[in-house]
Amino acid sequence: MNRSFKTVAIIGKYADPNIGDTLKTLHQQLRARNCAVIIDADTAASINGLDIPSASREQIARQCDLAIVVGGDGTLLAAARSLSDTGIPVLGVNLGRLGFLVDVWPDEIATRLDQVLSGQYTEEDRLLLQARVERNGSTVMESAALNDVVIHKWQVARMIEFQTYVDGMFVHTHRSDGMIVSTPTGSTAYALSGGGPIVHPGLDAVVLVPVCPHTLTNRPIVVSSASRIEIVVGQIGQNASQITCDGQVTERVETGDRVIICAKPRKLRLLHPVGYEYFGILRSKLHWAENP
Q: Do domains 7-126+267-285 and 129-263 have the same CATH topology?
A: no
Q: Which residues pair with 253 in a beta bridge?
A: 241
Q: What CATH architecture applies to the domain 7-126+267-285?
A: 3-Layer(aba) Sandwich (3.40)
- Concatenate the DSSP letters of all residues of 223-249 into one string: EETT--EEEEE---TT--EEEEETTTE
The answer to whether the CB of 9 falls within 8 A of the CB of 38 is yes
The domain ranges of the chain are: 7-126+267-285, 129-263
* Active-site residue, from 73, 148, 177, 246: 73
Total-model pTM = 0.93
The topology under which CATH files domain 129-263 is: Tumour Suppressor Smad4 (2.60.200)
Tens place of pLDDT per residue across the chain (292 aa) = 445 799 999 999 987 878 888 999 999 999 999 999 999 999 998 888 788 999 999 999 999 999 999 999 999 999 999 998 999 999 999 987 778 999 898 889 999 999 999 999 999 999 999 999 999 999 999 999 999 999 998 776 678 899 999 999 999 998 999 999 999 999 999 999 999 999 999 999 999 999 999 888 889 999 999 999 999 998 765 567 899 999 999 999 999 999 999 999 999 999 999 999 999 999 988 988 776 6
Distance, in Å, from the CA atom of 284 to the CA atom of 24, rounded to the nearest integer, reads 29
**Catalytic residue at 73?**
yes
The answer to whether the CB of 130 falls within 8 A of the CB of 264 is yes
| The one-letter amino acid at 257 | D
- DSSP 3-state assignment of 197? coil
Cα torsion 120, 74, 77, 200 to 10°: value is 70
